[in-house]
Amino acid sequence: MVDPGSPSPHRLIEGTVALSRLPSSVPVVVVPDHLLTSTAGPVPVEIKYDGRGTTAWAWAERAWRDAEVASGTVQPVRPEDPPTFWLSRLAIERLGLGAGLDTTVSLVIPEQDPLTPVLPLVHDIPENGEVQVSRDAAAVPRSQIMVRNGVAAWVTLVPRDHVRPGTVRISNHLRAVTGPVSVTAAGSDAVFFRPVAGEPGRTGRARTIAAVRAGIRSAAEGCLRWFFLAPEQSMRVAPAHPDDEHQHFATLQDVALSRLGVRSGDKVILRWGTAEVEVAAVADHDPGVARPTAGPSDPTKPLPAHDMPPHLAIRVPTALRHMTDLPAAAVVTVRRSTRSVLARNLNSLVIPVASLALAGAALNDPNWALLACGAVATAALGLSRLRMGNSRARRLRD
């Protein structure tokens, strides 16, 4: 891992810009192979030009060389030549380059820290979104991006004494959702990257108001999650159906919906790093997940791992990935939006509670205390199904 005390965990490289014809809903840059030695991508980078900056996902040329979609898109560049960065149209628009190609830009590439994944210990299995590293390799910040087999995932580094240097312990769940897409492909090392600084967002009063609103919403959601025990699930992004590409909802299988405690049409929260988006979750009308063919693969079209259970896949449309700068092959954290589910269940309690109130008003001498207790009991029983049971087993008898 990169030394936490190092002054800069990133490299600054200058190169010329060329237009890439690669279709992508997020900023993408293709770089020469010698700049990304530990992995072919996706790698979080920052592109700077004339005081502007934008985050993008970098891929090595070797990831595209055998893909039919990259035919004629990227050209081999020798390591001794000045590097050429092939930028997608979205990256060029965010930098404000327009038609100004052959321009020199700066590329900030984080240092690459490859570690070999090993099986977790049965008495110390990592939690959701955690990976265990050796204590001498624990880096700052704890939250980093792990890339394995071309799949990116935000993880939290947890130091453990039982982890050997040069290795990392990941859960079987995380191993499954970051597995290779082909049976013949061998699993790669886990490469960790420190997040790069993104482009500046809103400033001044607008930023303060947005931060306050987000804080209030997050606090309310956190309290409801704590009370109703709303679980989280790490899921691998899969292609949306062709007719859903421009929709703003996520598609999950019925098993995944039941595990999250939601019904089809309820709201869920997708978390990718620090970004969260609330969308409707609908049941997949075609649960079969596309599998890779024998032909060349396209990194912009996410595919599930060959041995991954189908219910761990979530279909995310292009519109949502564009909103959160989510790469094609990624692992997102999904949980139910407790506020929306609570509102739906409260609406279903209006008629029973109102019936008690009307029945009490029709009596000559109603016992309002008893009616109030009945209304509270009705509401409590109606909302009790929202509370998820404790997932931990408990020993009843020795």
Q: Does 335 lie in the same domain as 256? A: yes
Domain range holding 31? 10-110
pLDDT tens digits, one per residue of 278-303: 888 998 887 665 554 444 455 656 56
Under 8 Å between Cβ of 137 and 87: no
**DSSP sequence for 95-134:** HT-TT--S-EEEEEEEPPEEEEEEPPBTTB---TTEEEEE
DSSP-assigned letter for residue 25: S
Which amino acid is it at 27? P
What does each C-alpha distance from 357 to 108, 350, 352, 362 come to in angstroms?
Answer: 65, 11, 9, 9
Closest CA to 174 of 238, 114, 234: 234
Q: 288 in a domain, yes or no?
A: yes
pLDDT-derived band at 88 (thresholds 50, 70, 90) equals confident
Q: Does 289 lie in the same domain as 381? A: no
DSSP-assigned letter for residue 147: E
Under 8 Å between Cβ of 262 and 341: yes
Q: Does 285 lie in the same domain as 222? A: no
Per-residue pLDDT, averaged over 323-346, amounts to 81
Q: Does 144 lie in the same domain as 131? A: yes
Q: Does 60 lie in the same domain as 123? A: no
Which region among 227-231, 338-342, 390-394 has the lowest average model confidence (pLDDT)?
390-394
Q: Does 211 lie in the same domain as 145? A: no
Q: H helices within 123-230, ranges in order?
A: 172-177, 205-228
Q: 209 in a domain, yes or no?
A: yes
pLDDT-derived band at 332 (thresholds 50, 70, 90) equals very high
Q: 184 in a domain, yes or no?
A: yes
Which amino acid is it at 262? V
Q: Where are the beta strands (DSSP E) in 246-294?
A: 249-252, 267-272, 275-283
Query: Tokens standing for 281?
Result: 């979750």
Other C-beta atoms lying within 10 Å of the C-beta of residue 274: 9
Q: Does 357 lie in the same domain as 378? A: yes
Q: 392 in a domain, yes or no?
A: no
pLDDT-derived band at 74 (thresholds 50, 70, 90) equals very low
Alpha carbons 278 and 298: distance in angstroms, whole number: 28
Q: List, in order, residues 6 or more apart from 55 with CB less than 8 Å away.
A: 27, 44, 45, 46, 47, 196, 198, 199, 325
Percent of the chain with pLDDT strictly greater than 90: 3
Q: 181 in a domain, yes or no?
A: yes
What is the per-residue pLDDT for 201?
46
Query: In total, how many domains does the chain have?
Result: 5
pLDDT-derived band at 203 (thresholds 50, 70, 90) equals very low
What is the per-residue pLDDT for 338?
79
Q: 394 in a domain, yes or no?
A: no
Q: Distance of alpha carbon 160 from its chain centroid, rounded?
A: 25
Q: 398 in a domain, yes or no?
A: no
Q: 395 in a domain, yes or no?
A: no
What does each C-alpha distance from 301 to 178, 223, 239, 330 come to in angstroms?
Answer: 15, 37, 7, 11
Q: Which of 51, 77, 110 is the last residue of a domain?
A: 110
pLDDT-derived band at 334 (thresholds 50, 70, 90) equals very high
Residue 174 sits in a domain whose CATH number is 2.40.40.20
Q: Which of 110, 130, 162 is the last residue of a domain?
A: 110
Alpha carbons 130 and 186: distance in angstroms, whole number: 23
Query: To 10 degrees, what angle do helices 338-348 and 350-362 make?
Result: 30
Q: What dihedral do alpha carbons 277, 44, 172, 138 form, nearest 10°? A: -110
Q: Does 287 lie in the same domain as 270? A: yes
What is the per-residue pLDDT for 1?
46
pLDDT tens digits, one per residue of 241-262: 888 877 888 899 988 888 888 8
348 φψ region: left (φ > 0), alpha (ψ -120 to 50), beta (else)? alpha
Q: Does 128 lie in the same domain as 54? A: no
Q: Does 134 lie in the same domain as 53? A: no
pLDDT tens digits, one per residue of 92-142: 888 888 765 678 888 888 887 788 888 899 888 888 888 998 887 655 568
Q: Does 207 lie in the same domain as 155? A: no
Q: Which of 86, 110, 134 is the last residue of a domain?
A: 110
Q: Does 260 lie in the same domain as 326? A: yes
